[in-house]
Amino acid sequence: MQNKVLVEIYLPVVEVVRDAFIPINKYLGEVRTLLVKMVNEEAGFPYLIEEDCMIYNKETGDIYDLNKTVIETDIRNGSRLILL
């Protein structure tokens, strides 16, 4: 079994789309922090995490519980997510 999945991350505030491998055993709250760090490093500009920043399923609009691990959700290879 793979320990990471490849997802597409969309940040509408700065109109950035990136592919990212995310670990399936991490909580989504930790994944959110990793994704923001990745985008900051690649794009060269800061994207500040707001207190209420969430991860959404781009297809359904469902909000993911940041207290669940990736494996406990429907996030799989090819999932399209929004960080907002």
Per domain, the residue ranges of the chain are: 4-83
8 A C-beta contact, residue 2 and residue 74: no
pLDDT of residue 1: 55
Kindly report, residue by residue over 44-60, the tens digit of the pLDDT. Answer: 666 666 667 899 999 99
Architecture of domain 4-83: Roll (3.10)
pLDDT of residue 51: 66
pLDDT of residue 45: 66
Residue 77 has pLDDT above 80, yes or no: yes
8 A C-beta contact, residue 18 and residue 34: no
pLDDT of residue 15: 82
Kindly report, residue by residue over 7-32, the tens digit of the pLDDT. Answer: 999 988 778 888 999 999 999 999 99
